[in-house]
Amino acid sequence: MMSSQLKGMNIAGMGVVFTGGRGLASLDTSLRQGFAPPQMSKSTALKGSIPAYRVPEHILKDKSVLKGFRRADRFCRMAVLAAWDAVQDSGVIFEAGSSSLGIIMASALGPHSTTFGFLDNVIDYGDNNVSPKLFSHSVHNTATFYIAKVLDSRGPCTTLTQFAFSFHEALIAAEAWLAEGRCDYVLVGGVDETHTVMEHISAQKLRIANDGRIRQFDFSETPIAAPGEGAVFFLVTRQPTDKPHCRFASASTFDTKEIAKRPDIRMVDADGMAGSESPYRGLDWRDVYAAGYSPIFGSTMIGTGFHCAAAALMLKGQLRYACPIKDNPHGLRLCERTEPASIERIECVRFNCLGKKASVVLTR
Amino acid sequence: MLDLNLMNVAITGLGAISAAGGNLSETLETFGLGKRNAAPVSLFPTSLKHPSFEVQKIPEEWNRGGSRTLQLALCATNEALEDAGIKGDVSSLRVGVCFGTTAASQLNDVDFYRAYRETGTLRMDSVDRFLKGNLAEVVAHTFDLHGPAAVVVNACTSGADAIGMALSWLRNDVCDVAVAGGSDELNLIALSGFASLGILSESLCAPYDRNRKGLNLGEGAGVLVLESEAVYSARGAKPKRYLMGYGSSSDAYHLTAPRPDGTGLESALRTALNEANIKPDDVSFVNAHGTATLDNDKIEGAVFTKVFGKGTKFLSTKGFTGHTLGAAGGLEAVFTTAALDVGWIPASAGFNCQDEEIGISPVSERTPIAGRYAVSTSLAFGGNNSALVIASAE
């Protein structure tokens, strides 16, 4: 972390749920296959449809992991499955009731489909006849409850929300917890969902890529987006691990001068969600490969989490995935083909709507 | 691992706004007088007539088009920064902002949604208020603070956990100063939701009382300014109090009910005491979560007896503020610190008769306190438990 005592952490395991499936094999397959047009989400209010990278419902019907979680909504099910898979991927076994695992989840918008369901209740049945189940599930930290429950984890647990940088803040918090000895491992990740209301808001507030093709290297002042959703979790630790994917070397949400050691690849989380993307033009692109994979999982405020998962696969597999959309008006050195490569360091960069930069650096 | 004993974090500023007062001074006066400013909700139309604790007045200067939750946060932050003596003078420092909330994290505007359902149109003023209303980002922007910014949404432990997060930042040198606490407004969503759970009292709440009937909702904001001791000392000042420890745990038991054996809360408490490097006997009083629900008070009472013994002094300030949800941990940390400053704690408002099932009673009158250390506890939906240890200087 910039100007701090935090020195990085190992990624022992990862789990993802996204429009292309569940698990690292699905992510690898989607990254290799490249762009696939998203579903069109129909809305009577919109009087039409917009592209949305939604997670297919069948992916969320795991009767083993989600057994006993009949009441959990989509948001929670995405979170639980990605978190569970990250632990399974690591091979680390946590004893029931252990407090050695912390959980930190980031979300920009939280379980808003359940929130709107609760508002339906208020409007339809009156404020004295609403569903307690909908109310309790509309709280942001419901997902971390389900994760703690499925793992019977009694360690610290927190949920952070912010529109652009919540995943970055979650990483900083995870490393701080490890440094303080609050826990030996942290499950850190992000979850966000789409919903017709938010898609409608997106259609009003953003320029939508009607073909789903998010052009990440246009660096336009009026960029285009295609809403996405999903969950991504990392099991991180300071301890040595048998087969770590790679390391989170640093994360910062402020004071992000160009990092001293240049990355081999810079991933841009320019997905049309945060207004003008012109600040990406100001980065030093000399001798750096540019990459961006938002068209694999859609535009989402936790996109950096998915980019970090892609980066981890690239570092571990020592390969570059071809960018799914290769429009390149600024002549960057794009990752154009999926091919073996020697990669030591990948930086994931995101700017918010105020033009502030946040970055995450992953190393082998 | 960090040596936490080498990382002193000073509490240098306090700010509070709630039904008990528009600032900390007014609040302490209310506590001393035992006044309980509750009434049926007046902020919005509702069929629910439960007593609630509304903030009487938010100074107009904080109404900048944002949510009521944001206005409360700005008001308390301003007081805390002025108290710390660093308002407008922090450009050379990395100042983090960490807030806990529930209401400000959601687009839960009934009028907005009703209009959307009925006409298919979006009221963009509501959308913009939500999208431009992230507490930490707006507080940082308003007071020109540059550092990490995070909003913690852990239901009713949000405020305490935000303070714990800020403590972690300071210990790890992520920032030099942190503004941390919680803020929440009273709104229809929380009111109808808690009513649906059957835990709202139709009379004034009575934490720990044998005849308690549930909680009253409230609103407010409580903010601490935290500084690494080195940074504070460099300003030529000597800290008067410290944030010594923070513990957090998950029950992994039930979404809306605490683990019956209280082991989650006990774990959070013992972690916080260990971080502070003190024994339970060193604690002069506990500012309890004390919501006045049957389950919460019973479990907290059992854990206090187990950890601190039967003679411990404790209270709930929710009889003065109502349950302010995401603000509660922030407000109660401020009250705990202020009590160490003034040397007394108020009567636990609403308490009259001991509950034999709990077996211990909160203080029933204004009570002097001696000793350096105090604890504030918070519990939440989702099974979160948190504890803070606060100390006055030797």
**Domains observed in chain A:** 9-363 (3.40.47.10)
> How many domains does chain B divide into?
1
pLDDT for res A130: 94
> A105-120, pLDDT tens digit by residue?
999 999 999 999 999 9
Domain of B151 in residue numbering reads as 8-392
| Section A10-14 average pLDDT | 97
Mutation pick from A119, A121, A199 vs chain B, by most beta carbons of B within 10 Å, is A119
Known catalytic residue at B323:
yes
| Rounded Cα gap, residues A123 and A100, in angstroms | 44
Q: Which residue of A has its CA nearest to B193?
A: A135
Of B47, B248, B271, the CB nearest to A127: B47
Q: Dump the DSSP string for A238-255.
A: SS--SS--EEEEEEESSS
- B334 within some domain: yes
- Confidence at residue A257, expressed as pLDDT on a 0 to 100 scale: 61
* Structure-block tokens of residue B170: 């300071």
Q: How far is CA B58 from CA B71, B160, B182, B219, in A?
A: 7, 23, 16, 12
Q: Is B3 within the bounds of a domain?
A: no
| Domain-located, residue B2 | no
H helices then E strands: how many in chain A? 9, 18
In the numeric block, which tokens belong to residue A137?
A: 């599930």
pLDDT at A270: 97
CB contact under 8 A, A169 and B110: no
**Which chain B residues touch A173 with a CB distance below 8 Å?**
150, 165, 168
* Residue B289 is a catalytic residue: yes
Which are the contacts of B33, defined by CB distance < 8 A and separation ≥ 6? Answer: none
The mean pLDDT value for A130-149 works out to: 93
pLDDT of residue A255: 65
- Where does chain A show beta strands of DSSP type E? 9-18, 21-22, 39-43, 48-52, 101-106, 157-161, 185-192, 207-208, 224-225, 230-237, 246-252, 265-268, 289-291, 319-320, 333-334, 339-340, 345-351, 357-363
Residue A160 has pLDDT above 80, yes or no: yes
Q: Would you state the pLDDT for residue A204?
A: 86
> CATH number, domain at B295?
3.40.47.10
Interface test with chain B among A161, A168, A185, A360, by most B beta carbons within 10 Å: A161
**A289 close to A333: Cβ distance less than 8 angstroms:** yes
Residue B304 lies in a domain: yes
- For residue B1, being part of any structural domain is answered with no
Q: What pLDDT digit, counting tens, does each position of A192-214 carry?
A: 999 888 888 888 888 999 899 99
pLDDT tens series, chain B, 394 aa: 677 666 799 999 999 999 999 999 999 999 999 999 999 999 999 999 999 999 999 999 999 888 999 999 999 999 999 999 987 778 889 999 999 999 878 888 899 999 999 988 888 888 888 888 899 999 999 999 999 999 999 999 999 999 999 999 999 999 999 999 999 999 999 999 999 999 999 999 999 999 999 999 999 999 999 999 888 888 888 899 999 999 999 999 999 999 999 999 999 999 999 999 999 999 999 999 999 999 999 999 999 999 999 999 999 999 999 999 999 999 999 999 999 999 999 999 999 999 999 999 999 999 999 999 999 999 999 999 999 999 999 7
* Mean per-residue pLDDT, A224-239: 96
Report chain A residues whose CB lies below 8 A from the CB of B196: 129-132, 135
Q: What CA–CA distance (Å, rounded) separates A316 from A244?
A: 8
Check residue A2 and give its pLDDT: 41
Q: Strands B39-40 and B51-53: what pairing?
A: antiparallel
pLDDT of res. A46: 60
Q: Is B50 a catalytic residue?
A: no
Q: Contact A176/A6 with Cβ under 8 angstroms?
A: yes
Predicted local distance difference test score (pLDDT) of residue A259:
60
- Using alpha carbons, select from B368, B347, B86, B113 the residue that is nearest to residue B223: B86
Please state the rounded mean pLDDT for residues A3-10: 71
Contact B383 A148 (CB under 8 A): yes
- Residue of B106, B148, B380 with shortest CB distance to A112: B106
Please check whether residue B339 is in contact with residue B371, taking contact to mean a CB–CB distance below 8 angstroms.
no
Q: What chain B residue is nearest to A155 in terms of C-alpha separation? A: B249
Distance from CA of A16 to the nearest CA of B (A): 22
The region, left, alpha or beta by phi > 0 then psi within -120 to 50, assigned to residue A344 is: alpha
Cα–Cα distance for residue pair B315/B321, rounded to 1 Å: 13
Decide: A234 and A188 in contact? Cβ < 8 Å: yes
Instruction: Say if residue A281's pLDDT is above 60.
Output: yes
Residue B4 confidence (pLDDT): 67
